[in-house]
Amino acid sequence: MLVPLVAWRYLYSPKPNRRVVMTAIVSFVIAAAGSLLFLYGPKALQIPSAIIAVLSMLVGLVAALLRFFTPFATISVTSVLIGTGVLAVVWSVSHGFQGEFKRKILGVNGHILIINPGLPMDDWQKPVEVARQDPRVVDAAPFTLNEMLAMKSGRSASVLLKGVQVDRVGSILDLPRHLLSGSLKDIEFHPDTSPKKENQALPDDSEETDDSEETDDSEETDEAPKSTGAETGKRTTPPCTSARNRMPGVLVGKILAGRLNLKPGDALTLVSPFSELAYSSDESAPALKSVDVCVRGIFYAGFEEYDRKLIYTDIRLGRLFNPIGPSGHHQVFGVEMRLTDMEAADSVAAYLRGALPDNYKVVTWKELNPQVFSSLQFQKLVVWLLLFFLILVAAFGVLSALYMMVLDKRREISILKALGATDSQVGRIFVGAGLFIGILGTVLGEGLGLVACIFLRSYSFPLDPEVYFLSVLPVSIDAVNFIMIAVTTLVLTLLATALPSLKASRAVPLDGLVIRRRG
């Protein structure tokens, strides 16, 4: 009992100072008022009120500490508190950025893609079958991806038309959660939405459709929208619906919709800029050069690049912009799949490479965006190193405070040794004092950091999507990160007690008891 009692006595020094008490009370009241203003006040005052609330809480905590502890202990706890709190906030924001980037990028792409490099894919059923045999694969499906020109009322934009299997896209992509209006059912390919190539029947791909009934593209309707070139200059896009016909449906990104002034129910013209290219002797030209489609819904992925360029449609429409392969069917771009655990992408890709022919290329989500994810990993390392040094500075504050305490308590250390205290017991006194400072500073710092993170996440701090690719500041409050920060802080604080504890344990009793004469 001697060691913890003496350590507590060196730290605990209650001072019934009225000014300190009033400062603490006023600070906490201001912090509470700032929190209420943040939650229920006008939007323009949220940021100032949040800053005032956090700073007032910090001042209140320091005043409360000064009421019960010595100035040495208060300064040390405050340094650990600030370092830990800043580390918690910055690390949560950094972790939020990384998680949001992954979620946004993988929300519109599968965890693994199988493609035929440089060429469309003709025999896609085999990769799909092989992928679905792996229990780690949630689902797999073919998709098309074509660079197009979207035109409406004299406005145009370069877009990517992605054709997906409507009945399976929800198990592979996050598209259903991104929809602001419309539904996936609205873009299903129906018999009366079949575009025709200059009034000629299109090849029937029904026999190779996977798990869904394919529409016979040869079916004729008098009012079906015809494929026409872009050579007419200004053209009048027909309405989305008529008495006998419905146009093929698409889903467009929010930013693209704003750029072209689109809303659900509007008609849009899609033109393939590669429709005139020559194809090899074993391929037939695409069935379509351009098509009039109907905007059936708007999606918002939250990633500026996708919301500005991507358009979704049924794969049966997207394939008509691809050539006909040796099998006699319109080809696809590739196969994409979702995994039960995205981190298992490398092992699943190795299995697929061994099970598929060499002409297929298997690309994981890491390989699909190597620069983005490598930069995120580097950023994570840099942020951690910088914040590690911030905690290290706080640990040096604890070291200096304990060292000054050893010098201040030389007489008491000498008396303890004269009464029989061992070197180990004296050293443990200051180790215990430093550990208490680290624990208290960590708990208060992480609590203050948690409050700041909640403020930031509740406010949805806006960002410039053209710079950060995200529209709001992402904040990830993860218990594992907070535990890791606490462990790091306590370890550094414990190491900082080594030198003062060693000096105290080696003190000679006579040195502290000798009274030097003056003059």
Packed helices 498-505 and 370-408: angle between N→C axes, nearest 10 degrees: 20
Candidates 32, 69, 25; CA nearest to 50 is: 32
Predicted confidence band of residue 245 (pLDDT cuts 50, 70, 90): low
256: pLDDT strictly greater than 60: yes
518: pLDDT strictly greater than 50: no
Tell me, what's the pLDDT at 465? Answer: 67
Contact 338, 169 (CB under 8 A): no
Least confident of 50-59, 199-208, 333-342, 433-442: 199-208
Tell me, what's the pLDDT at 426? Answer: 81
Q: What percent of the chain has pLDDT over 90?
A: 17
Tell me, what's the pLDDT at 433? Answer: 85
Candidates 486, 454, 485, 434; CA nearest to 3 is: 434
> Which residue type does 395 have?
A
Predicted confidence band of residue 232 (pLDDT cuts 50, 70, 90): very low
337: pLDDT strictly greater than 90: yes
Residue 472 dihedral angles phi and psi, to the nearest 5°? -135, 155
Could you tell me the CA-to-CA distances from 240 to 156, 264, 265, 499 in Å, in that order? Answer: 18, 10, 6, 79
276: pLDDT strictly greater than 80: no
**246-250: average pLDDT:** 84
466: pLDDT strictly greater than 80: no
223: pLDDT strictly greater than 70: no
Tell me, what's the pLDDT at 347? Answer: 93
Most confident range, picked from 97-111, 152-166, 266-280, 456-470? 152-166
In order, the DSSP letters of 392-419 are: HHHHHHHHHHHHHHHHHTHHHHHHHHHT
Tell me, what's the pLDDT at 408? Answer: 75
**357-374: average pLDDT:** 81
Between these two residues, 424 and 279, which has the higher pLDDT value? Answer: 424
The mean of the pLDDT values for the chain is 79
Question: What are the tens digits of pLDDT across the range 293-314?
Answer: 999 999 988 777 788 899 999 9
Place of tokens 């939020």: 96
Tell me, what's the pLDDT at 310? Answer: 92
411: pLDDT strictly greater than 70: yes
Q: What percent of the chain has pLDDT over 70?
A: 82
Question: What are the tens digits of pLDDT across the range 160-213?
Answer: 999 999 989 889 998 888 888 888 888 888 765 556 544 333 444 444 444 443
500: pLDDT strictly greater than 90: no
Question: What are the tens digits of pLDDT across the range 121-146?
Answer: 878 888 999 999 999 999 999 999 98
Predicted confidence band of residue 231 (pLDDT cuts 50, 70, 90): very low
103: pLDDT strictly greater than 80: no
222: pLDDT strictly greater than 70: no
49: pLDDT strictly greater than 80: yes
**How many Å apart are CA 315 and CA 313, to the nearest integer?**
6
DSSP 239: P
According to DSSP, the residues that pair with 292 across neighbouring strands are 269
Tell me, what's the pLDDT at 113? Answer: 92
Between these two residues, 1 and 386, which has the higher pLDDT value? Answer: 386
392: pLDDT strictly greater than 80: yes
10: pLDDT strictly greater than 60: yes
402: pLDDT strictly greater than 70: yes
62: pLDDT strictly greater than 70: yes
Between these two residues, 127 and 38, which has the higher pLDDT value? Answer: 127
What is this structure's pTM? Answer: 0.66
Tell me, what's the pLDDT at 139? Answer: 92
Least confident of 1-5, 25-29, 130-134, 378-382: 1-5
Least confident of 7-16, 222-231, 451-460: 222-231
159: pLDDT strictly greater than 80: yes
List the chain domain ranges: 2-104+373-512, 117-359
**44-73: average pLDDT:** 86
Contact 54, 82 (CB under 8 A): no
Tell me, what's the pLDDT at 357? Answer: 86
Candidates 164, 472, 159, 122; CA nearest to 306 is: 159
Predicted confidence band of residue 224 (pLDDT cuts 50, 70, 90): very low
| SS3 assignment, position 488 | helix
Candidates 427, 370, 366; CA nearest to 402 is: 427
**How many Å apart are CA 38 and CA 45, to the nearest integer?**
7
Place of tokens 């093929």: 248
